[in-house]
Amino acid sequence: MPKKHSNDKRVNILLVEDEESFVDALTIGLDREGFDVAVARDGQQAVALFAKETFDIVLLDLMLPKMSGLDVCRQIRASSEVPIIIVSAKGEEVDMVLMLEIGADDYVTKPYRLRELVARIRAVLRRRETHESVPTSDDEIELGPIRMDIDARRCFVNGEEIKLRKKEFALLRLLLENPGRVLTREVLIDRIWGSDYVGDTKTLDVHIKRLRTLIEDSPKNPEHITTVRGVGYRYEATKPSA
């Protein structure tokens, strides 16, 4: 993401939407919230506009004339890491896992409140920033309250060491290596347990639950290891702001 002047907070949004009522309401609402909005009314227009101008984030409707939202997402991802939020209509059959696989950052379902949408947009942008500012090192990961010393297999929360079992360590490491990204249950299970994973599909949740009791201030209202319902989990370094 290009660095902007600190007093220039306006964010460029590419709004891909074919329903006029949504376009009108969003253009006005998002402008008021400090976003600059460019509108594409079909998939082809979206791809063309994206190639021509620079955007900070893309808000992408799924059902579009000429080219589907999924194809637009694939096309954009072929050349750009720009954050993409997918918008689907209520009752539409949506494969969340597929959307994340093709590189969407988040999704919202119509109808939604402008406030909810703006919160999602800001959260996605914030996660990207956090992600980009993390210095990576081979043997140490430090992110939010957690520091992991990979070689020594030690883990610290706010400077205090916690004891993790082997799979718990591997699971936490994988989450920290992908900050802000949703990791699907399938990916987590495959990467941590692989063919060792037998029977009980609750094993992953049990491990997540134990990690939360160790790292969260309030394990029942987790702020770092968050659940993406029906899809998987993600690690957020910064607490969601109120």
CA-based radius of gyration for the chain? 19
Residue 177 as a binder of Ca ion (CB under 5 A): the answer is: no
State which residue, 41 or 127, has the beta carbon closest to Ca ion. Answer: 41
Candidate list 1, 18, 68, 145; residue touching Ca ion; CB under 5 A: 18
The piece of 17-25, 75-83, 99-107, 210-218 that touches Ca ion (CB under 5 A) is: 17-25
The piece of 1-9, 11-19, 95-103, 114-122 that touches Ca ion (CB under 5 A) is: 11-19
DSSP string across 149-202: ETTTTEEEETTEEE---HHHHHHHHHHHTSTT--EEHHHHHHHHTGGG--S-TT
Contact call for residues 170 and 192 (beta carbons, < 8 A): yes
Q: How far is CA 64 from the centre of its chain?
A: 23
Contact residues for 129 (Cβ-Cβ < 8 A; gap 6+): 1
Contact call for residues 58 and 102 (beta carbons, < 8 A): no
State which residue, 89 or 206, has the beta carbon closest to Ca ion. Answer: 89
Residue 63 as a binder of Ca ion (CB under 5 A): the answer is: yes
State which residue, 117 or 123, has the beta carbon closest to Ca ion. Answer: 117
Nearest distance from C-beta of residue 87 to Ca ion, angstroms = 8
Residue 41 as a binder of Ca ion (CB under 5 A): the answer is: no
The piece of 60-68, 73-81, 123-131, 144-152 that touches Ca ion (CB under 5 A) is: 60-68
